[in-house]
Amino acid sequence: MNDFANNHIYPGIRLVNSSERRKLMNQHPIHIWFTGLSGSGKSTAGAYLELLLHRAGIHTSLLDGDTLRGGICRGLGFSKQDRDENIRRAAETARLLLDNGLVVISTFISPLEDQRQMVKRICEPFSTFIAYMDCPLEVCENRDPKGLYQKARQGEIPEFTGVSSPYEIPPAPDMRLQSGTMASENLAEELFHRVYPLIKHA
């Protein structure tokens, strides 16, 4: 069934290409991918970054991990296979938005390096900027804004990143943000100054 479908798919024609959309918006679409432990501040920093870009006249779209798990990724669990599929769907969604000229901000734990490399491959030829939220596990656990670490320690959440499932620190992120000691608003502003020139060089 899958082989039949793959051999009989013909993408529809497009009369407006990505380059024309980019010129119309006067911006260069890039993908900003936040990664880090739960509680490291990814979603908050991503929201503040989107606000700063919006105020600067940049057309954006924000993809939040929990939001996608409530919709396009609904039904996926937290096994390695399901985590990979969750990230793949997020990356495919980002790729469509990038092709429409938007700057995409994604906030996902994405604990494994092979997952982050998959995101880069799927989103090519657009650049994916990896922003690593560097926050010690004990700080994330003390924050525990959703009560997830407590549930994981009690065995209610299996394969929880940082407790019973590993997080691989990105070996060469485009930017390392010290979210254990700096406020999300300040981190977003710092990141804004790094990515804005990449967006407006078009």
Residues tagged active-site: 110
* DSSP-assigned letter for residue 161: B
DSSP-derived 3-state class of residue 202: coil
Tokens linked to 151? 């549930």
Residue whose C-alpha is closest to residue 184's, from 57, 61, 43: 43
Give 3-state DSSP helix, strand, coil % of the chain, rounded to 5.
45, 15, 40
Q: Are 123 and 95 in contact (CB under 8 A)?
A: yes
